[in-house]
Structure 1
Amino acid sequence: MRMSEFWRLMDDEFGASYSRMLASTHVLHALDDLTVEQALAAHRRPRDVWEALCDDMNVPPERRLGVDLPVRDNPKES
């Protein structure tokens, strides 16, 4: 997972403002009691950070992949 994907999932699930606040304050006990931001800064895999946060926040499995994005038309095929 790329960092851009991580932040898209955060914003999809928690909203842009709350996701930033959550990242700076929520302690992930499964990741050595680091906040989300600290875990990412310590080069923890974004997927591992996301999964730990989802577990803590009781995000159901069906929402852990984020909102489905619309399929974009390929202008070369038109």
Structure 2
Amino acid sequence: MRLTDFWARLDQAFGGTYARSLATDHSFSGLGDRTIEQAIADGVDTATIWRAVVTAYPERVPSRLR
């Protein structure tokens, strides 16, 4: 998944403002307790990051974005 696609999906699922807050403030256990921003900086594949988001917030992510 391209980084632009990742951000577009995150924005669609959570709204622009909350998506950015989620990316910088929330640590995901599926990312080794890193934030999305930290995981991206560490070179984690965006598909892996997206799966961690979907796992943490299954009710927020529509099936068409999974």
- After TM superposition, is the score higher than 0.5? yes
Which consecutive unaligned segments of at least 5 residues does structure 2 have?
none
Tell me if 1:29 matches 2:29. yes
* Structure with more strand by fraction: 1
The share of aligned pairs that are identical, in percent, is: 35
The runs of at least 4 consecutive aligned structure 1 residues that moved more than 6 Å come to none
* Structure with more helix by fraction: 2
Q: What is the TM-score when the length of structure 2 is the normalising length?
A: 0.88
Q: Which has the larger radius of gyration?
A: 1
CA-atom RMSD, angstroms? 1.5
Residues 28 and 35 of structure 1 are in contact (CA less than 8 Å); yes or no, is this contact kept in structure 2?
yes
Which consecutive unaligned segments of at least 5 residues does structure 1 have?
66-78
Number of equivalenced pairs: 65
- Counterpart residue number, 1:49: 49
